[in-house]
Structures are given as structure tokens and as C-alpha cells.
Chain A
């Protein structure tokens, strides 16, 4: 990479952004991308600010994690800092915070305190693979896989069931690993949709049409909202199933002016920043009579995904791409993110220059180009990029920090690597307002680690989800026998 490209244009927008450092970091990357890109709008890279912390008077239960090396998740590290938790939310982070009387104090001297890891794609943890009806009605808050995931530092994950094809689809939810707390598990529904590329010419035309309709509708509703008459705001369903069927069907029913055109509900939510679009760029068959299969050249798929991002005006998430590192600048220019596993490497084909393969430096190259990277575990079979519960005793669950460490091995800055498990993972999941860092107002999902977050020797000592201790190493069977 050209070192000139690393020059951060950090300070430019800082004055405009009032509060949060998460916003700042995101903005930084948008700026980086813009510096070299085609000047596309950077809508998604700016996450809306986290909700304000509760009024101290309304807090019923205080918890304070005191004395640790606090990795806030936005880049700040506070030695001997305090994380003050009011009920289920982070209330404040800093030095010398006043701890309210009656607070539960967790000492973390000599320990490392980080946000809980967000697994951007997981299955089999507290929920069945497919659910009819609402997710929360099928949740199992006593699933042993929850404890195993907590032991690995995962405090929440993005649940996937089904997926979109040529248009966004699939059922998703942010699931908190709130052991024993049925109501605390399904945190937010439909924070992401998925689709695949490359699209055929017909599929591409259809998508353009839908996006056109969606934009028209968006402009109309925004104009109506701006008008003084109180127009009913279109609020697609948050918690339940996909809102896509909302406008469809029911011919006898006159569609209300705020009902989106058929098939555009998902697109509208993506464009409004309410949900993230994941695109899985599959490799184009390139055998050309040479008798080889698909190969690993997914550049066409990536380019089309970036076209979709430009069409929508928001960055997308590239799901487990192979050649993304070759297109890092182009990806950065659209404000898109990449989900990958640094251990998923494929060798280049010396006889075919198109087959660039993927290497361990991919995460670093993307990160330096300003592309946020979310790291996942490899799933049971090679090449996957999701957290499974397979392997011996769910061993696939055990390695988030090791996977991030592989990105460091490829040259990534360790703090950025920790971010790839926390804040950037939350951004990929479309839930950066809720989880991913220890900023005030966010869910209190906190880990107390007994060492460097990315070391293979490090264990989770205590994990909190929604402000409650849900895992303690010396009380659970998994690692209690391992003392350092």
C-alpha cells in the first residue's frame, strides 16, 4: 500500500460531530475512503449515536467494574479505569468515577476489560435453526452453547435464518446471550438482510426498478414528514418477522399513503440505515473450457455488490469475499464493510492471474484502506465464516480472539483487531447503536479478561450481558481447571 494513503483526515469533521467517538471513528474511515475514492456519499459509515444513558435516579441496580485496563472499543484504552453500569446499560466510563452507594463492585485489577464480542454470524446458540412465529417464543435461555460462547467472549450474535437471493431477504436478529433471561435474549429483529451477487441482467434490472420505487417512496414520505400536517410516519416492524410482506396483497385494502411499494420494505429499511445489507459475492465460473470449477475469483461479484451500495447510497457488508483485498480502495469508497476470517486463505493460481487467492494480510490491507473489517470464526468446514456449535464440544466457538490474532499476524494493528470483534462486528450486524463498545447508553455487555485480549493464553474470567454476570470462569466447568 502506498503510505501516502494512510494519511488520516481525521480532524475535518470532528467539530461537526458532537458526541461519540464511535461516530468519529466511523467518520474517519469514510473520510479515508473518500480521499481516494470517487466521492460517493458515505451514508452508512456514520452510525447514529447511542441512546443517552439513563437518569441516575431511575437506575435500580448499579454495577461498577473497577481497576482494570479498559478497552472502551472506540480506540480508547483507560488504565485503571472504571466501567459504571446502571441496570442493563453502560452508564459511564472513565477514571475516578463516583460509584453510587449500594453498587456491586467487581474488581478488575491487573485484568483487561473489553466490550463483549459480537459474532456476526452464528447458529445453534439458544435458538433453533428455523423458527415459525416469533424468535423469542422459541428461545432457550438455558442452552449450554450459551455458556460455551460466553466462555469464548461472545456476548451477542447475529442470528440468521434463510437468506435473500436476488433481492434482500432472510430473517435476522441480534441475540444476546442473556443466560436464564428469556426476555433479554432477542434484542432487535431484522437488523440485517442478505442477498447474493453476481446478478443476472434480469435480476439487476429488477433490483434497479425496486430501488427506484423505494427512493421515490422515501422522498415522498420525507416530504410528507417535513410538511406541517401530521402525516403518519412509515415505521416498518422492528421486532417481528420481515416487514416485506406488509405492503403486498390485500387488494381490497386501499394502501395507506405511507405503505411502501411491494418488495421495497427491506430496501427502504436498508436505505434509512435501520438494517444492514449483506452481500455474498460468489465466484464467477471462469473455467472457459479448462475444466475447472468455480475458482475463487469473486471480483465481479464484489464489484456488483459495490454497485448496489452506490445505487442504495449506503455501504454494504461483503460477506466472506476472497478477492476483496485486491479491491480495497473501491470498497472503502462506498463506505462498505467486510466480514472475513483471516484464516481462510486460498493460494493464488500461478497459471491464472485472475485467481489471486486470499491471504492472511487481507484484513490488514482492507483496514489500512479504511474498510472496517469484522472477523468471524471459521465454521466446521473450511471456507465458512460463521460461528457454529460444531466441532468437539462446540470448539468452533472457542476462537474469536485467536481469529482476530491471525489478522494481527497479517499485520493488522492489535487495537483495530480487537475492534474487528467488537465495534466493527456490531456495525456489520447493523447494531452499533446497541452493542460493540463500552460507550454510555449502550448495552452493558462486558468481558473481564485475565490478559491481553488477543493472546491465545487469555481466558474470559467474567462476562456480563445486559449488566448481569452470566459467566464466571471458576464456576463453570469449561476452563475452571486451567489456572495461570
Chain B
């Protein structure tokens, strides 16, 4: 039954054109001329030429000749900017991937869990799902990807749904016939969705504390096993050099496995398999994901909408430090829980990027509005914007951004907030988010300034291939 439904859906989706798949121009080379280029990473370049080859940006300059064989696009009067990045949403999870209802299922089912353990939740509720990948639940052939692409969204972060520790998010490009073809990064971040109740707070706190304990144990064993003893035991994970990590892992893992059986027999190790000490442990992916986070090898996207939630999050995470991005999807309506400007120091202390919806916030019980993005920016906090995860996300956000800019947000921050900053949050700013040589050629050509209400989106390139743009 399920299978036949899937097949039917798949057949229906085949009719959706996947124009970005055809490698039409990428081999030939593309030259976009005479455009005003907003590289985002630097100041605007007037009447510039952008050379694209093999899906990458080759050169950006105002004084280069177009090499022979390149397809030339004359963009005089237009403005070229990088494709928009939708950093956090549940795009494409709707068809069977969404798990919003899961807490209820668990409430009914009591403490039954896949691994039969996780964090023993006080009310038999949520458990640590950090081992789950959102992309495993993604269904590729959905029109929403086409819609987003036509609207100018060229990179999409997909986050798992649910509360507590719902899993890992990934990054996809809005084109491709299956998830593998769409995938840019399979696991880009660990999603954390705190809720202000004892159950969820306990779940997250235990997962983090267990993860730290396991790491300490692993690290203590590490130096003797590797017989180098280079690193002090108490070295915080965030301070490890990236270069060190790949080297140490293969050498470290095999010997530690038998050794870890001892704590497992005592039943105190969250990284252990649930099937007890008799069997060689197979590392619990959820616990492993938490340890990766604590080592600084991945980042957490933490959903925080209000100052009160920030204080609760502080309580939960006070003993740990790891790369953090705060995601505020409902901040504008959370005045009764305190706006972010009362917890600026908490955000700064974590050096976190804040991704928030491009909205003005209304002070409770009044008609007064405050520009929270502008306040955060003025306080020196790096901000990016959340686009809606469906339909004309960029068109909608553009109107809102205009309002924010009108209310005092610098225009360059607004545009960086939908391109380079979300790419930085996702850790893909090396290839995506700006118009620089070597970066992926995701480009949007507007008839005027993107923040001009009269400007229209004229052309969209995804990895150097032009796709149909939705001019609205």
C-alpha cells in the first residue's frame, strides 16, 4: 500500500521539470556582463563581468575581456547577487518526514524507544534522536524545491522536526531526482529544540553531560593508547585544532572499544549499545553525535525565540561549550517572554550567529515595534535571516527586509543575512553565499537593486545552469 503510493507519487513528480540537471552551459562557460555585482563579501562592483565555468565562478572584475566560446549575457542595468540560502526549515519533510506528532505517540507508548533507553525521560516522552538524519526522511521529488529555486533560493538547510534532540540537519540544492543528487552536506548541524519544561531540559542536559563524560573517558584513554600523550586531559574540545582530528580518530578508536566494556557493564555509559555488556558495543549514533558536537566537529542549531528561553538554555548547557547558531523562528511574537536585547551578553558570550525571521517585533500590549535584527547587529552580533520553507520564500522575505532596512537595518547586512551569513551558519561559506572566484555559481539577476520594491528577479543560475526564474 505504502509502496504503491510512493510509486504513484514518484511518477507524478517525474513530470516536474528538473531543468537544473541538464549540463547545458557549464562546459561552455558563461559570461555575465555589465551587471552591478553585489559580491556580498565585498563592496559592490559597477559594470562588472562575471565568468562562470563548470558550475564555478571563474573571475569577477570590471575590466576583463570575455574569452572566446563563452555564452554572453548582457545584464546592463541589472544587479547580480548570490543565490539565497534558506538555512533552517523543514522543506521536503512534509511527505512522511514530519515528526511533529511523535511526542504524542510516545506518550501513548510509554517508555518504549528504539534503543530502549536514550535518556530515561521522566514522563516516558522524547528521547535523544541525535543520530537521525533529516535527509534520510527527505522526499526529493516535490514541487516546493522547484518553487523555491524559481524564487531565487539556491541552497536549502533541512532541519529535522520535533522537540528536544530531534536529529541532524543537512544541506541540499533544490534540484536533483533523488536525495543523493540533491545533497550538498549530509550532516551540517545538530538540531536542538529546547522546550521550557523539565522533561525536555532533562533530556538535553543528560545527553550533553553523558557526552562529556564519554569524551573525557575516551580522551583519558587516548594518550596512553597513542603513546604520544600530546594533549592534556582537560583540554576543552573547542580548542582542538581541526587538523588534529582526522589523524587521531582512526588511531584512537580500535583500541578503545574493548576498554569501554568495563563502564558499560556498570550501565553508566550513554555511548554504549543498549543490549548490555555481553555484546561488543556498537556506538550509539545519538551519543556519538553529541560527542562530535562537544568536540567542536559539528555545530548546534538551537531554537531559541525569547530571552526566557535563553536563560533556560543557559541552565541546560552551562557546563559545555560548542559552536552554536541560534535559530529564532518566532522571536517577533515572544515579547511576553522577553526580547533578545535583554540577553545580548548571553549571545555574545557564545559568539553565536543568530538566524531570525525578518520581522519587526511588537512590544506586548502596545502597538510599538522594535527592530530586533537591527538591535542585534548594532550590538555586534552576526545576524542572518530565516526564509520560509515553502513557496515564494525569497519574495516574502524581500518585502520584510525592505521594512527592516527602512527601520534602520543597514542594507548590506540585510542582503548578507540571506546569503553569506546563513552559509556561514551552515559551514558552507567556503563554496556558497558570495560572488567570488572559485565559489559555486548560484546567481540571481535582478532588474534593479534587490531591495528596491520595483526590482524583479529576471534570471536564476544554479551551479552555472540557468533555471526558469519567477519574475514576481
Contact = CB atoms under 8 A, between A and B. Distances in A.
Given A144-B365, A180-B342, A182-B315, A137 B335 contact: no
Contacts of A141: 308, 311, 338
Contacts of B315: 182-183
Interface in A373-391: none
Given A133-B122, A182-B311, A393-B365, A143 B197 contact: no
B364 A137 contact: no
A133 to B, nearest CB: 3
17 contacts: A132-B198, A132-B199, A133-B123, A133-B199, A137-B197, A137-B312, A138-B196, A140-B196, A140-B308, A141-B308, A141-B311, A142-B337, A142-B338, A142-B342, A143-B308, A144-B335, A182-B312
A479 to B, nearest CB: 15
A137 B308 contact: no
A134 interface: yes
Contacts of B280: none
B203 to A, nearest CB: 11
Interface string A172-184: 0000000010110
Contact of A133 (B197, B307, B336, B342): B197
B439 interface: no
Nearest to A181: B311
A183 B365 CA distance: 27
B201 interface: yes
Interface string B119-158: 0001100000000000000000000000000000000000
Given A140-B308, A393-B365, 12 more contacts: A132-B123, A133-B122, A133-B197, A133-B198, A133-B199, A138-B197, A140-B338, A142-B306, A142-B308, A142-B337, A182-B308, A182-B314
Contact of B307 (A131, A134, A139, A142): A142
* A-B pairs with lowest CB-CB distance, top 5: A142-B338, A133-B198, A137-B198, A182-B311, A140-B308
A453 B394 CA distance: 57
Contacts of B337: 140, 142-143
Interface in A123-182: 131-134, 137-144, 180, 182
Interface string A271-312: 000000000000000000000000000000000000000000
Given A143-B337, A144-B335, A144-B364, A137 B342 contact: no
A138 B365 CA distance: 22
Nearest to A240: B198
Contacts of A132: 123, 197-199
A140 B364 CA distance: 14
Contacts of B342: 142, 180
Interface of A: 131-134, 137-144, 180, 182-183, 393
Nearest to A182: B311
Interface in B139-198: 196-198
Nearest to A135: B198
Given A132-B123, A133-B122, A180-B342, A144 B196 contact: no
Contacts of A138: 196-198
Contacts of A139: 196, 308
A294 B196 CA distance: 42
Contacts of A180: 307, 311, 338, 342
Interface of B: 122-123, 196-199, 201, 306-308, 311-312, 314-315, 335-338, 342, 364-365
Contacts of A182: 308, 311-312, 314-315
A142 B199 CA distance: 22
B196 A137 contact: yes
B346 to A, nearest CB: 11
A143 B201 CA distance: 20
B370 to A, nearest CB: 13
A142 B336 CA distance: 7
A143 B122 CA distance: 27
B207 to A, nearest CB: 16
Contact of A134 (B198, B311, B338, B364): B198
A131 B122 CA distance: 14
B361 to A, nearest CB: 13
A138 B196 CA distance: 5
B373 to A, nearest CB: 19
Contact of B336 (A134, A137, A140, A393): A140
Nearest to B366: A477
Nearest to B364: A144
Contacts of A393: 365
Contacts of B307: 142, 180
Contacts of A183: 315
Given A142-B306, A142-B307, A182-B311, A137 B201 contact: yes
Contacts of A140: 196, 308, 336-338
Nearest to A142: B338
B311 A143 contact: no
B103 to A, nearest CB: 12
B315 to A, nearest CB: 7
A140 B311 CA distance: 9
A66 to B, nearest CB: 29
Nearest to B316: A137
B206 to A, nearest CB: 14
Contacts of B308: 139-143, 182
Contacts of B336: 140, 142-144
Contacts of B198: 132-134, 137-138
A393 B363 CA distance: 13
A143 B337 CA distance: 5
B193 to A, nearest CB: 15
A223 B239 CA distance: 58
Query: Which of A131, A137, A138, A143 has most B Cβ within 10 Å?
Result: A137
Nearest to B307: A142
B353 to A, nearest CB: 23
A252 B364 CA distance: 53
Nearest to A126: B308
A182 to B, nearest CB: 4
A141 B336 CA distance: 10
Contacts of B314: 182
Nearest to B315: A182
A134 B311 CA distance: 16
A441 B364 CA distance: 37
Nearest to A241: B198
Contacts of B122: 133
A396 to B, nearest CB: 15
A153 to B, nearest CB: 20
A141 B122 CA distance: 24
A331 B315 CA distance: 46
B163 to A, nearest CB: 13
A335 B342 CA distance: 46
Contacts of B201: 137
B231 to A, nearest CB: 35
Nearest to A148: B365
Nearest to B201: A137
A140 B314 CA distance: 14
Contacts of A131: 197
